[in-house]
Structure formats: C-alpha cells, structure tokens
Structure 1
Amino acid sequence: MQELPNIFLIGPMGAGKSTIGRLLAAELSRSFFDSDHAIQDRCGADIPWIFDVEGEPGFRQRESQMIDELTQLSGVVVATGGGAVLREENRRALRERGAVVYLLTTVDQQLKRTAKDRNRPLLQCDNREQVLNDMFATRDPLYRATSDITVRTDRRSPRAVVNEILRRVHRMVDPLEIARAQSKKVSQ
C-alpha cells in the first residue's frame, strides 16, 4: 500500500475544517496545522486585529506565506482558511503538494456554526447570510477546481466525514484504483 500524501482541507468558514482536520490527523498519527491559527501564533495577534491593521490584502499575503510553508512539510494534515483559494499561488501549492479535500456545507449550516464566533472579520456585519451567499458564489468554483475530492459535511458527524475522506484518499493512491480510473477514461 502506497503512503498517503499530505491532506489539505479547503472550504468555507464553518464547514468543519479544523474539527475534521484534528480528527483526521489523529487517525493517521500525523501533525495537524490550522493555517489561521499558525498565522495568529506567528503574529501574536488574532485575525480580526490583522484585518483591522493590515486590511484583507495584508492578511492574504501572510496567509500565502503560511500556506507555502505548511504545504512543504511532509506527513501533515492542514486546514486552510476559507479564503485561501482566492490566490492562484495558494491553489497551486495545495494541488502540487498533497491531496486536496473540499469540505462542502450549506450556507444555513455556516450560519449556525458561526453564529457566536467573533473571530471572523468578514462576518461582522448585519447581512451575514448575504455575505456567505456571495462568498459561496465566488469561492465554490475555486474550491472545486482546486480539490481532488469533495465531501459534504452538513448533517454528518465529524467521524463519518473523516471515514469518507480516508476511504477516498486511499482510493486515490491505490495503484489498482488508479489503473481502473485510467482505463475508464480510455474506454469513454
């Protein structure tokens, strides 16, 4: 059996990237990194403060540097911030350095999961649902283009999501599965 690649979790805020990433890393006995937490640790400041002082462009630059560093590690599970896919350099690093899993959820689930979270600067407004819908319209095509696998997280336990990710990533790297997939493409 071939060793599993790094696993990078992408998707909108509130999709469960951090929760699922921790469980996945524990299951695989790997190190887990959350790119947003790594940025906060390095800066000694929380994300809303970084947004206030440097604006979104400043934060996105820090995010790109952190994603570049984290994706160069070996044997890791990394949860990215929801906007990581906005920059091509991030999408390329993720695609080239591991298996990318898009954790897909509904805007309703996002609203429930982020209702009391004050650490999300883009949601500090009165029209949170509209903001989430707009972000989904912009980012969903980028998540899909970047990912190897899409897994729905709404109304599912984190354990069920982890099990599906493991099954599908194993299938990605299993030589027999790769050969079957290639022969299907040829016969179509």
Structure 2
Amino acid sequence: MEQEKAPRIFVIGFMGSDRKGLARAEAEKRGYRALDLDELIEKKDGRTIQRICMMMGEHEYRNQEYEMLCQLQEEEGIVVSCGDGVFLDDMSREILEKNKVLVADSQALPEELWERAKEQKGLPYAFMSQSDNSIKKKKFFALYEQRKPLYNQFISRP
C-alpha cells in the first residue's frame, strides 16, 4: 500500500507527548525534513519560548507560531513538531487543517503524560515551575481535560 503524499505534516500533542520523536520518525519514513516549530521561533526571536511567554505573554508566542506557520506554508517535504497549544489560535488552526496533522501519543493516558511532563525543563507554563507537585499536577490535569476535545478533533479527521 502506497503511503499518502502530503507536502507538509504537523505533529501536535499534549505536554509529555513525544511530538519531536513522532515528527522525526515520520520524516525519516517519508524522506522529509523534520523541523521543530519552537526551535524555529527561538532561533528567529533570540529568546526561549519560556522567556517569550514570561516577558511578552502567551499571546505573543501564539502570534509568533502563526507567523512561522505562514512561512512554513511555502515549504514542502517537511514534518513539523509543534507546541502543545498551537491550535488555540484560530488562524494557526486554519493552517493546520489545510495540511496533514498527526497527534503524538493520542492513546496515552493523562497519568503517563504527567509522568513525562513533570520533569521537563523550560515549559512555558508558569504552573509547571511551581515547587508544589500537587498543585502542578492538578493544573496539568485541568489543562489536559480542557484541551483533550481539541486534540480529538484532529484525531477524528480523515
């Protein structure tokens, strides 16, 4: 069976999912280039995503995601791992919907994602920098429940 041709593939997934790993594997399978949206933004801006969010707010980060997605629309043969909330911006979501989207670890239980995410450094969410793990965990699960329906929209797409 011949694999589906798509000039651009975007990989999304919640905190703790292996978006980069899925993007690399998919790119290798297809002979495409693997890119990371956050790394592209950081290179262009000169600041980390965490610093952008701290200094300018999440809205600025979402603006930069959209600008970079617009630039990537000109590229072909790419698989791009994206931040966990890229679809929160309507204009960014429109770009994603015009392309193939894969959801990393879509079958993973939230507890699995939490175990991976709780030790990650540099996450742009202020609550993930708290020292109280119980508060951090509660906020993580609340955000997961809030975003799960949005991820499900991409899972159910043909």
TM-score normalised to the size of structure 2? 0.84
User: Is contact 1:101-1:148 (8 Å) kept?
Assistant: no
* CA shift for structure 1 position 2: 7.2
Unpaired segments ≥5 residues, structure 1 = 150-171, 173-188
1:114 aligns with 2:117: yes
* CA shift for structure 1 position 17: 0.5
* CA shift for structure 1 position 33: 1.1
- Structure-2 residue corresponding to 1:59: 61
- Structure-2 residue corresponding to 1:77: 79
Q: Quick one: distance in 2 between partners of 1:66 and 1:148?
A: 26
Percent of pairs identical after alignment? Answer: 26
Q: Quick one: distance in 2 between partners of 1:71 and 1:110?
A: 30
- Structure-2 residue corresponding to 1:142: 150
Count of aligned pairs: 149
Q: Quick one: distance in 2 between partners of 1:76 and 1:45?
A: 24
Q: Which amino acid aligns with 2:65?
A: E
1:1-188 map, 5 Å = 1=2, 4-5=5-6, 6-96=8-98, 98-103=99-104, 104=106, 105-122=108-125, 123-125=128-130, 126=132, 127-147=135-155
CA, structure 1 residues 4+111, in 2 after alignment: closer, same or farther (shift >3 Å)? same
Across the aligned residues of Structure 1 and Structure 2, the Cα RMSD in angstroms comes to 1.9
User: Is contact 1:10-1:102 (8 Å) kept?
Assistant: yes
